[in-house]
Structure formats: C-alpha cells, structure tokens
Amino acid sequence: MTGPRPLRVALLGCGVVGTQVAKTLLYDQEDLSARVGAPLEIAGIAVRNVHAARDVAIPRELFTEDAEALVDRSDVVVELMGGLEPARSLLLRAIEGGAAVVTANKALLADDGPSLYEAADAAGVDIHGEAAVAGAIPIVRPLRESLAGDDITRVLGIVNGTTNYVLDQMTTQGLELEVALKQAQELGYAEADPTADVEGYDAAAKAAILASLAFHTRVRMKDVSCEGISGVTAEDVEWADRTGYCVKLLAIAERTSEGVSARVHPALVPKDHPLANVRGAFNAVFVEADAAGPLMFYGQGAGGRPTSSAVLGDIVSAGRHRVLGGKGPQESTYAALPVLPQDAAVTRYQVRLEVADRPGGLAEVAGVLGDHGVSIETVSQTAATSGSATLVLTTHAAREASLAATVAAVDGLESVRRIMSVLRVEG
C-alpha cells in the first residue's frame, strides 16, 4: 500500500529567510513530513539570477528563474521575495491553480490583502501570513483563532526590531539617534537604507494587519496614520526617564464606540508596563481582550531563523489541510467598522515647554488647556536659568484633535518661548 503523494513546496525568493526555510525543509524533512502526514519536497526555488552566490547547503539544481512555471507545478507556494509585484501576481496565479499560499509579505497583505483573501476563499485554498508580523512571535494565529471567541479592545505592539534597538540604546547608553542607528546598521539590525523602519512604514503595515485581524474589519496601510522616530532626541529620552517613562515606537490598534483607530508613533510607555521592558531588537505585542484580559506575546521579531519558524509553521498547517482536507480560517470582515482618522484617536500628551520665568506663566498655559477641554494630569517645572524654565505637562486622555489644537494655542502664548517636544503617552 502506497502512502500519500509528496507535497511539492515552491519557494519564491532565497534571501536570509528563504535560505533558512529551504535548509530546514531539506534537512528536517523527516520530522516535518511526519507532522504534515505526507512527504514534503522542494519543487524549486525561484530567484532573479540562478548564477548568484548561494548557500552551498542548497543544491544548485533547485534554483530557477521561471517563477511562473514553478508556481504551476506546486501544491504550496511560499512567497519570501517581498514587494508588491511580481509577488501579488504570482500568489494570485498560485491560488487560481489550487495551491495553498504562505507569505511573509507584510506590505502586500496590508496593501492588497483583501484581493488575495477573496481569491483564496473562492478557490477553497489556504492563505497564511504568520511571518508577516513580528517574526517568530505567534500573533496572527492567536488573534485569528485562539481569541476568535473574545472581544479584543486594544492591541499595542513593538513590531519593529530596528527602532526598538535604536531607542533602547538611546535610553541605556545616552546615544543620539544617528549614532544608535549607525550601530544598528553595523550589527545587521538595520538596512543600509533604514527609511521604512525609522519613518514607521514597516510598523504601519503590521498595524494594518493586526487591526484587521483583531476587529474583523478591513484596515489597509493607507488607513494607518504614521509617524516615525526621526524626530526623537536624546533629550526626549532623558526627560522620559525623569518622568517615569521610556520611549517606544508603538503600533496601536483600538476599537471604540465610534469605530477602529490604527496608528504608529513614538510614545511614552510607563516603566511598569510590560512593553517598557522589551529590550534590544526584540518585539512584543500586548493585547487587551474583554474575557481573556491582558496578554503579551514576546520574542525575536526578525532574522532568518526566527522568521523561518513562523513560515515553517504555516507550511505545516497548509500541508495538513492538503492531506486531511478542509482549509484554515479566512479573512473575517463581518464587523465592517468605520476606520477613524487620526484626529479622532483618544490619547494623552506629554508636552515639554521652555517658558519665561515670570509670575502667571503656568496659569496662562493651564487656562489655554482648559479652554480646549484638556485637563492636566501632572506638571513639573525646573529651576529657572537665564530667565527661562522647563515646564513638563502631562494631560489626561483627550481626542487627538483637541490636544493638537491645544499645543498650537500654547505655542502662541507670550510666556512660551518654544515647544521643546510633544510625545503621546500610551499604555
């Protein structure tokens, strides 16, 4: 009696993650096949140039430049090439041909996930994307499956290892951002062009995916307001420490009575919050749910081996469904909640001001806040030097629009010489 036929796995791309996935499929084949219930074999690896230098552990005959032909002869197609095209076209081709799909492409899922999900649902095949958010950390499956019976209210995430490393070095070593970023590049934590990380675009794509999963509502990357860390200074980090906070770049998705808010920005996190202790290039996602309460998922958010763990988990899941029948959960958008603009978000501000050292200055600032319906939670003032003092105000929660208008009005006061920094407070 013969066993089930081998499942043919196509890899699109062979970078750091793709190389690790290929090596694991080759050398842990027996264990993985046992978990799937059928032999797994690599049908081929699509690359731009088959003559480029590759890891010698991967047989040269597996490489091909004909990605379409490879897709057509495969049961599971694993996309690790990144970018929108040709990744989108190849995945749609795979789905139309009846292949299950695994992708680590956060930009594609955030930008055009709905078309992929719709095609997969129509074809009756799986689409998995655990590796698209937070590397090795299992967060997509818990949101989509484990917490499917709960009501999630908020997701806070440190989902970019580069920026977390930079901010951590600024906090612990007192470095300026440029110095910490150069160090991250030397260690391989940051790309030669770190724009996507530093400006928050990478985190914004992940925020869109997390919000869509958590709130059963389509949230695209264009719906996520985005602010990176390029404006954060060593002085900001030092003042955060003085006032009981640390600075983190957060991806935030929350559900309110009005709809869904999704945003990325630097934020002050209280030192006693679990996210405050996420160090180096690690990632963490903090989930608040009605029944389950607070949950935190923590681990390595990037790198070949950690990310390959998530990819291989998806390959095993997709393979099991091919062998046993059925398919995994698809996109859930039944809630169809409105996606709110940034100015509708509710947050708190910490505002650091240089003010003239004269009577009535604080009262003048407090009056402007009151006029805009914003109340002060805490206030501190340094001793005056050269006729100026530093005033640090932390507000109670208010709409972003009200807080922004308040800061603009305060900036126009005669007693305020300059606004030194404005940071949101979260967590």
Active site residues: 206
Strand partners, 355: 389, 416
Helix (H, G, I), strand (E, B), or coil: what is residue 255?
A: strand
Place of tokens 């200055």: 361
C-alpha R_g of the chain: 24
Indicate the angle between helix axes 29-36 and 16-27, nearest 10 degrees.
Answer: 80
Cα→Cα distances 399→200, 340, 341, 379, Å: 22, 12, 11, 20
Decide: helix, strand or coil at residue 9. strand
Strand partners, 225: 263
What angle separates helix 234-242 from helix 161-173, to the nearest 10 degrees?
70
* Residue bearing tokens 């030194």: 420
Q: Residue 172, class by beta-carbon neighbours within 10 Å (0-12 exposed, 13-18 middle, 19+ buried)?
A: middle
Rounded-to-integer distance, Cα 310 and Cα 140, Å: 10
* Helix or strand run (H / E) with residue 59: none
Cα distances (Å, whole numbers) of residue 284 to 173, 373, 421: 22, 34, 26
Query: Is there a contact between 185 and 202 (Cβ–Cβ < 8 Å)?
Result: no
Q: Which residues of 104-229 form beta strands (DSSP E)?
A: 127-128, 152-158, 225-226
162 touches 188 (CB < 8 A)? no
Give start and end residues of each alpha helix (H) in 274-337.
304-324
CA 414 from centroid of its chain's CA atoms: 41
Q: Look at the chain and count its residues.
A: 427
Q: What whole-number distance in Å separates Cα of residue 86 and Cα of residue 364?
A: 58
The pair of three-digit structure tokens given for residue 123, joined into one six-digit string: 């074809």
